Amino acid sequence: MSGSLKLLADVGGTNARFALQSGAGFDDIEVLACADYPTLGAAMQAYLGKAAARGFAVEGVHHAAIAIANPVEEDRVSMTNHHWSFSIEGLRQEQGLETLLVVNDFAALAMSLPHLAADGRERIGGGIELQDGRPGRPIGLIGPGTGLGVSGVIPAGNRWIALAGEGGHVSFAPSSKEEVAILDALWEEYGHVSAERLLSGMGLELIHWALTGKRIDAPSITGAALDGSCADCIKTVQTFCAVLGSVAGNVALTLGATGGMYIGGGIVPRLGKLFTESAFRARFEDKGRLSPYLARIPTYLITEQYPALRGVSAMLSDHIAAMQ
């Protein structure tokens, strides 16, 4: 296969998703486990080697963009939830690229939101249905996975500007006596307790421990909750969903996200009815005098499989155009 190709990647703390792009769509999407490679560069080379073996002209790749689960503020990037650390310029030279754009993964995911098709999202609860990309309305994003990502997009004329921040590390605020008890338990362990401390894979484990005194891994908790075999695990997931609703409501208020609030990340899509029938939406709206404001904002679960690739592709196109 010939033609000019771009290399795209969405790198989380657990998996790195790679794709090649020659037009509007994506080719040869592959997911690699981060733990299997000593460096990001090694993972990139492994992917390109496999793509070449499948017939892709990877020697024509001159531009690449990486969305990564980490703040990106300087040339040096050291991942918070994984051991990979690299210089952006050094990685560009090592890979023989003309362009290497590295952005926060949730900024890239946020950039995809105005362009999601109707079948790429599932509406959760109430709110006023809006047209995709409706101008003048910010869109919010939150996503629990290995960590907790928070972002959004702000309209600017005919463009969207993605926000890159670390909102997952805001201080956790309990909304019930039970959550106060959870906060007390985590204070003893960690001092500062962030929203991410509860709304992540480790967060599921910590909620379960705080509620029961038992330490169980996150896949076991969600598995037992989904099959209904453990009441404590069901309670853990219910608490997780409720807290997520409160934090999502906070983000929506902060951004004025009247264009909608979206849920991404790797955890929630696996919960099925445990999430859609949870207290998430009720807690999202439960903001006292501002409850009517929140009640008008629609909430969506992102169901598209690789939305961050769509977002980082748009950011790379903008970057290349600005350089010309």
pLDDT of amino acid 129: 62
- Are residues 100 and 149 located together in one domain of the fold? no
In a domain, 252, yes or no: yes
User: What are the strands of the beta sheet with 5-11, ordered from one edge?
Assistant: 27-33, 15-21, 5-11, 61-68, 99-104
Q: Is residue 12 part of a domain?
A: yes
> What single DSSP character describes residue 172?
P
The region that residue 256 occupies, defined by phi over 0 for left and psi between -120 and 50 for alpha, beta otherwise, is left
Spatial separation of the C-alpha atoms in residues 286 and 284, rounded to whole Å: 6
In this structure, are 186 and 158 located in the same domain?
yes
Whether residue 158 sits in one domain with residue 93: no
Domain co-membership, 202 together with 225: yes
Q: Do 163 and 207 have their domain in common?
A: yes
316, part of any domain: no
User: Is position 324 within any domain?
Assistant: no
Domain that holds residue 240: 117-302
φ, ψ at 265 (rounded to 5°): 85, 170
At 131 the pLDDT is 47
pLDDT of residue 130: 57
Same domain, residue pair 10 and 76: yes
Query: What pLDDT does 128 receive?
Result: 66
Burial class of residue 24, CB neighbours in 10 A (0-12, 13-18, 19+): exposed
Give residue 1's pLDDT.
40
Return the pLDDT at 178: 95
How many domains are contained in the chain? 2
Looking at the fold, whether 69 and 203 belong to one and the same domain comes out as no
Q: Which amino acid is at 251?
A: V
25 and 168, same domain (yes or no)? no
Mean pLDDT per 10-residue interval, the chain, length 324 residues: 78 92 85 96 97 92 94 92 94 96 91 87 78 68 91 88 88 96 95 96 97 96 97 98 98 95 94 96 96 94 91 90 80
Kindly state whether residues 136 and 269 are assigned to the same domain. yes
CATH number for position 186: 3.40.367.20
